[in-house]
Amino acid sequence: MKAAYYIGNKEFSLREVDPVTPGSGEVRVKIAYCGICGTDLHVYLGHMDARVGNNRVIGHEMSGTIESIGEGVENLEIGDPVVIRPLAPCGKCPACERGHSHICQNLKFLGLDSDGAFQENWTIPAYTVHKLPVGISLQHAALIEPLAVACHDVTRSRLQPGEDVLVIGGGPIGMLVAMVARKQGGNVVISEVSEHRLATAEKMGFSTLNPLKVNVAEEIYKATGNKGADVVFEVSGSQPGVDTMTEACATRARIVMVAIHATKPQVDLFKFFWREIEMLGVRVYEPQDFEKAIEMIAAGAIDCETMITDIQELPDIQNAFAALSGNPQAMKSLIRCS
């Protein structure tokens, strides 16, 4: 079978390797599609070599079918359509013991700390598997992992129907957060600097603001009767985004930090005291976030056709990464793995 190894310096090496026989408690999945995550792009650009090394199959936003089942695995059959929740918690640390194994203190991420899904077959622990409803599009199902991120973010925000929501940053995750928040009854506005992404957001029916053209906080106050946004998602990873997140807030607003900032941003703590704002950290997802994401994709609640902007074959993975890097017209690129 074919597997694409990241070998450093924006390069992949396509190799012919033997599929791994699943051991006890493991299954082998035939990968249908695997999306390129922002994290994968960071790997490709060489930002994560210290963690990932120069000989690693990356990729985790996958869909596929069960192909082989190891000993002691129950409730799965060959041919089942599935996605993988790519987390391997230690099960022993204080975070795991308190039921927060998704943010285990020794968490291993499949597709970064061990080999991932940009290959024809992937052997993984059976506990990571979520079964999909029969008949679901495996192409759309490749969006379940990033959608689970969005579901987790919105759950953490405690969004109530009718609340005003500002999403700062309209990339793939920002867009999915906006879709989940709207589905949950939020009045969503997306702030984004790329005209192309603004057009995509508008096509999906969202109100938008371009911070290069208007003062986002002022516009939010105007639109909410001088109240401000009840929930703000910071998905831009930029200092101007962090400035806007506190400026556009209502009293007792919740700010959800979704973006991973490359440097420590300056946060206006004065606003936190003055308006009794809460800030919430969010990281990956819990099993129930995956189940919710699966339900939404199966019900057609997500505009997958607009989200998926490119599909390439596994041998063309190099081109797919090059085309995605720094391209604001791209949303989600998928690799067809088998």
Binding site for Zn ion (CB under 5 A): 37, 89-90, 93, 96, 104
- Toward Zn ion, which CB reaches closer, 37 or 248? 37
Q: Minimum Å distance from CB 59 to Zn ion?
A: 9
Q: Tell me the CA distances in angstroms from 254 to 168, 245, 261, one per residue in order.
A: 14, 10, 19
Residue entry with tokens 């409803």? 133
Expressed in angstroms, the distance from the first to the final Cα of the chain is: 9
DSSP string, 109-161: EBTTTB--SSBSEEEEEGGGEEE--TT--HHHHTTHHHHHHHHHHHHHHT--T
Q: Minimum Å distance from CB 188 to Zn ion?
A: 22
Residues contacting 154, CB < 8 A, separation 6+ = 177, 180, 181, 184
- Toward Zn ion, which CB reaches closer, 171 or 211? 171
DSSP string, 177-228: HHHHHHHTT-EEEEE-S-HHHHHHHHHTT-EEE-TTTS-HHHHHHHHTTT--
- Toward Zn ion, which CB reaches closer, 155 or 210? 155
Residues contacting 198, CB < 8 A, separation 6+ = 170, 190, 192, 208, 210
- Toward Zn ion, which CB reaches closer, 152 or 254? 152
- Toward Zn ion, which CB reaches closer, 163 or 290? 290
42 carries an active-site annotation: yes
Q: Minimum Å distance from CB 308 to Zn ion?
A: 15
Q: Minimum Å distance from CB 103 to Zn ion?
A: 9
Q: Minimum Å distance from CB 335 to Zn ion?
A: 13
Which residue among the candidates 21, 39, 60, 244 is catalytic per the annotation?
39
155 carries an active-site annotation: no
Which residue among the candidates 21, 42, 47, 152 is catalytic per the annotation?
42
List active site positions.
Answer: 39, 42
